[in-house]
Structures are given as C-alpha cells and as structure tokens.
Structure 1
Amino acid sequence: MTTPRTDAIGLVLARPARMLGHEPFFGELIAGIEEVLAGEDRSLLLHVVPDHAAEIAAYRRWSAGEMVDAVVVVNVVRQDARLAILADLGLAAVVVGGPRSGLDVSNVWIDDAQAMRDAVRFLLGLGHTHVARVSGPRDLEHTHARSDAFVQECAGSAAQGTIVEGDYTEESGARSTRSLLGRPGAPTAIIYDNDVMALAGLGVAAEMGIAVPSGVSLLAWDDSALCRLSHPTLSAMTLDVHAMGQQVGACVLNRLAGGPVTAYQAALPRLSARGSTGRPAA
C-alpha cells in the first residue's frame, strides 16, 4: 500500500520560543529550506517545543496522522535517540549538522573543527596568549567538535585556553563574560558560540570599563546583521545559513525521490575580521 503524499516537511525546534526572535540563524535556515521546497509545491511545518521529549511526541503524532512526508532534525546530540525513533516510525529524516560520516540518514554537515582552528589561529596571530570560549550546551555534537578543536589548537600553540558553557541566551553570554573578565589573569580574547552571547559580552565589557578590542577581543559565531550593526562591529565566523538551508531542502527532496543516504558538506565558515578584534594592549 502506498503512503499518501502530504506535501509537508516537518521541523521541530526544541528551544524556548522567545529565542527565535533573537537568533537570526534559524530564520535564515528556514527561509532557505522553504525556498527549495516551494519549487516542488511542498511546505515546511514548523513546531516549537521546550525539549526533546516533546519533540519526540510531535514525531509520533505526525507519524500516526500521516501529517508529514519527512522531517528535518537539528541540534544533534551525541547518541541521539531521536534518529532511532524516527527510523522505527518510518519517517524519512535529514539532519542539519552531525558528523561527516556514520549516520544512517542524510545530513548537511559543517566542518566546525576546522572553523574553530581558523578562529583560534587568527586570535593567536594577533598576539593573544590566553583565549576563552563561551560554548553552547555541551551535549550538542557541534559543541564537542568546536571545543575539542579549541583545546587542541591552544595546546599546540602553548596558549592558555579556557571554556565556559553557555546556552545561547543573552543572560548566559553576560554571565559567562563577567566570570571570565572578573577573574585574575583574565583572557584577552573570547570566542562565543553565537551572536547573541557575543553581543551580551560586548555590553558587559562596556559596563566593566574594558575597551574592545584593546582590553579584550570578541569573536562571534554565526555572523548576522546584529554583528555588523554593533559598536564596535563584531568580528564573526560567517556562514551562508540561507545557502545551507537550500542544501537541506535539496537533500530532503533527494531522499523523498529515493536517492541514496549522503553526507553533504556545507561551505566552511570564513572569518570576517571587524572592529571587535585586535592586538592586545601591551
């Protein structure tokens, strides 16, 4: 018996709904996916939930009601239970991120490790010897990739590296920055895992009377208009998220057409040096 086509692709975001208004990343990703799906008269069904348990419950409802033809999975964690559950439900899936190999589903992955090495080398090249990183949640696959590369690059250059865990929110960015800059032997450069935390760090530096970039250099991940409009402008790792969304959309259509399971590599994030990074004061 042939399963009826719904012309809908599901995307569940397990994160606070208020974050979607602050993070440009998912808006650009969704726009890219929808642009490709619309060309095939398909639509994206977006659902925002608080956690992975609610996300899995949504998958079960969609499967039982035959509401979607496939789903897009984001924010992969290590030993991610969602993928096995989707397989059991018979829902086709495409992963955004994840490793370059080893998944049983197609994915569009980013070389986060190489991008982090590029970011650290850039700051070390400016003369920084103590670099800090404000990461995203530690259970995420890409957080591990970036943190491992950060530690290895600092160790290989005999530089001091410090990692503080955040959760992508403004509050965690501000809290982490105060902790880092308020300690003896504070770092002279900080890399943030998203633009929202970096902007919060810029505000904290101003509150503490620490000049940017002479007192501390700040570098954001996931470039956005917010980074280009801040003062000083924020240096960032720039990724064409819209183009990656288009890749994801094409990957979904390929799987629905019976194409092979494939890992597609997104373009490597490039470093956009702006006003928030410079040589440390003597």
Structure 2
Amino acid sequence: MQHRVTIRDVAARAGVSAGAVSLALNDRPGVSEDTRRRIVEAAAALGWAPNLAARSLARGPHVHTIGMAISRGTVGAGLDAVHMALIGGIESVLTERPCSLLLHLADDRESEIALHKQWWQSGQVNGAILIGVSADDPRIPPLHHLGMPVVAVAPAELSGPFPSVWSDDEAAITEAVRYLALLGHRRIAHVAGPATLGSSLVRSRAFAAVAAELSLDVARSASTDLSAHQGARATRTLLAGADRPTAILYDNDIMAVAGLAAAGEMGLRVPADLSLVAWDDSDLCRITWPALSALSHDPFAFGAQVAHCLLQLLDTGRAESRDYGTPVLVPRGTTGRAPRPV
C-alpha cells in the first residue's frame, strides 16, 4: 500500500529538517537558494504534493470530500438522466454531513488513474466512488495500492478488494425474457453495452442462460457503446438478418428509443410485428409512442446506498458489499403477443 508523501519524507531525502522543507516549499525566507533547490528537487522526485485537506483543517472545521472521476467512454457524449439521478442520490446523503462530491470527467481510464493519484497524494479527497467497472478493470490495482477508501458501483465479483453496491440485473433480465416467452416470442435479441463492461457481462450471461433454459429458437446478442447511433445500427442489423427477432431487449433507454425509430423506418409495427423492452425506465420511456416497456429501477435511491456504503467505510474502516435490489419489469405499449408465423 502506497502512503502519502509527507514533508518528513522530503526532508529525509534532501538531508534537511522538516522546518526547512516547510519554509522552502512555501516560498518563505530562512533557507539558502542551494538548500531550496535541493528540497524542490527532492519533492519532485518523490512526487510530493501539498496536502490540501490538512490546509483546510488548519483553517477551520474539516470537510470530507469524495472523488468521482468518470471516463467519457462510460457516458458517451455526456451525463445522461440516469447518471445525473445517481449523482443526485449520492449528494443527497453527503450533504447530511460536512461532506462534498468532487466530480470530474476524464478522457480515458489512464486519465482517471492519474487523477485519483493526484487527488489522494494531495489530500484533496478522503475516498472515491468507482463507476463503469469492467472485467479486469485497470483502475482497481493502482487505486488499491494507493490505500484510498473506494466503493465500486459493480457486481461484487468485479469489484476486487473494494466493497461494492449493485442491482440484481441477472434476475431482472431473466424475468424479462421469460415474460416475452410467455407472450409467445421464440426469437429474442439482446442489444447490450460494451462486452467487457460489468453490467453488460452480467446481463449477457443471464440472457444466454435463460435462452438456453427456455430452448428459444433464436437468441442473439449485439455489443454496442450504449449510444443511440449504435443502438439503431444494431437494431437494423438484427432486423435485416435471417430469422429476425420478434422481440429485442436493450441495455438502456437511449438505444431502445433509437431501436423503436429504426423499426419504424423498416416498416415494422411495434408491438404487432416487434416487441421492445428498455433498461432504466427514464422519462424517455414514458414519452415515446407507444410508451416503452422497461426494466425500472431507482438510480437516485441507488446512489444514496452507494454514499452510505462509502461513509461507513470512512467511519469504520470497512463496509459490506450490498445488493440494492432487482429492477422491476413495467409492461407498456411496446410489448405484445408474438406475431403469427407467415
């Protein structure tokens, strides 16, 4: 576990007192230019950064800060309604205590790792929330090495040494496929997210398992980046192929709306020719025509559970991973009986 570099570490490397380091790094008189240069070089070599939290404590009551770095690849063009609700739930709990959320959009995973290191080394954050966790996530080993308190929004099997909060997506997608099968659908497709994304892995695995259990005639999966563009493209590809599906499950609401439009472009009627089910059940699902059937959950309440888990970790040094619950299927206008074979 990596400890934060302190003034004492810099002093030992430069061969001076801690007081001399404080004077030099705060640009105060009392040390020679040669000593100041030696101290600055030692600080740079050790990766020292000012402890902002300690400075704040010296000025007044201590306020915890929680870091949350989000890769642009996780949210596409920007934060959608589900991510905003998740963040709102987190903040609703943090504001009950002297605690704030430091949110940052990073370009990629490497930028996230560098940002967390900077935050932790400088004392700018007391802990962090990790979202968009993937299989063999490259962020987990370096963050664990830092010794930073972290809670992962991910299935426990993917969170490594960190406590996690997740929803039972396996049970949810199993319920959705069984519901469609009861409506007579034997050719069902799943438009998933990135193949390595934790939630997509769990859902795709569950989809394959229930399809085999029900002996479906066709059970296809397509991986996407969760964008509307790729959701529409995957829909067109599935509908243009042989044995086209009579029902499609989507891993978010944006892709389901795009899929609904793509089906209309191809002359298919929903739900007479094709049934659609979305994930997330945001306002988009309710304002489309017909309204989208969806797997509904509460991202605001989910975010609150994430914050409670992290605060427990900060308060006691440990926290148990927790299953928030199972998304609930809400049938609406885009699901109906399977069309009869022509």
- TM tier, shorter chain? over 0.9
Displacement of 1:73: 0.2
Q: Which has the higher helix share?
A: 2
Per-residue CA deviations over 1:210-255 (Å, capped at 9, x if unaligned) read 0001111110011100101111100110011110000011111111
Residues 104-123 of structure 1: pairs in structure 2 closer than 5 A: 104-123=161-180
* Residue identity matched to 1:118: E
Contact 1:6 1:67 (8 Å CA) reproduced: no
Query: Could you say which residue in structure 2 is the equivalent of 1:252?
Result: 310
Query: Could you say which residue in structure 2 is the equivalent of 1:130?
Result: 187
Displacement of 1:101: 8.4
Query: Could you say which residue in structure 1 is the equivalent of 2:143?
Result: 86
Whole-angstrom CA distance in 2 between matches of 1:184 and 1:102: 39
Query: Could you say which residue in structure 2 is the equivalent of 1:271?
Result: 329
Query: Could you say which residue in structure 1 is the equivalent of 2:118?
Result: 61
Q: Does 1:39 align with 2:96?
A: yes
* Residue identity matched to 2:236: R
Residues 162-241 of structure 1: pairs in structure 2 closer than 5 A: 162-241=220-299
Per-residue CA deviations over 1:159-196 (Å, capped at 9, x if unaligned) read 02000111110110110011011112100000000000
The answer to which of 252-261 and 167-176 deviates more is 252-261
SS in 2 for 1:237: strand
Give TM-score, length-normalised by structure 2: 0.79
Query: Could you say which residue in structure 1 is the equivalent of 2:45?
Result: none
Q: Does 1:76 align with 2:133?
A: yes
* Residue identity matched to 1:81: P
Contact 1:9 1:68 (8 Å CA) reproduced: yes
Give TM-score, length-normalised by structure 1: 0.95
Q: C-alpha root-mean-square deviation of aligned residues, in Å?
A: 1.8
Aligned with 2:319 (options 257, 261, 274): 261
State the 4+ residue runs in structure 1 displaced beyond 6 angstroms.
none
Contact 1:105 1:262 (8 Å CA) reproduced: no
Whole-angstrom CA distance in 2 between matches of 1:205 and 1:37: 43
User: Does 1 or 2 have the higher relative contact order (CA < 8 Å, sep 6+)?
Assistant: 1
Contact 1:101 1:263 (8 Å CA) reproduced: no
Contact 1:28 1:241 (8 Å CA) reproduced: yes
Whole-angstrom CA distance in 2 between matches of 1:12 and 1:6: 19
Whole-angstrom CA distance in 2 between matches of 1:153 and 1:138: 19
Residues 12-31 of structure 1: pairs in structure 2 closer than 5 A: 12-15=69-72, 19-21=77-79, 23-31=80-88
**Structure with larger Rg:** 2
Whole-angstrom CA distance in 2 between matches of 1:94 and 1:208: 44
Whole-angstrom CA distance in 2 between matches of 1:263 and 1:88: 20
Contact 1:14 1:48 (8 Å CA) reproduced: yes
Whole-angstrom CA distance in 2 between matches of 1:101 and 1:143: 12
Displacement of 1:98: 2.1
* Residue identity matched to 1:193: D
Identity %: 38
SS in 1 for 2:325: coil
Contact 2:155 2:164 (8 Å CA) reproduced: yes
Per-residue CA deviations over 1:18-74 (Å, capped at 9, x if unaligned) read 6335x2110000000000000002111111112111111111111222111100001
Q: Does 1:96 align with 2:153?
A: yes
Equivalenced residue count is 281
- 1:69/1:222 Cα in 2 relative to 1: closer, same or farther (>3 Å)? same
Whole-angstrom CA distance in 2 between matches of 1:88 and 1:101: 17
Whole-angstrom CA distance in 2 between matches of 1:182 and 1:66: 55
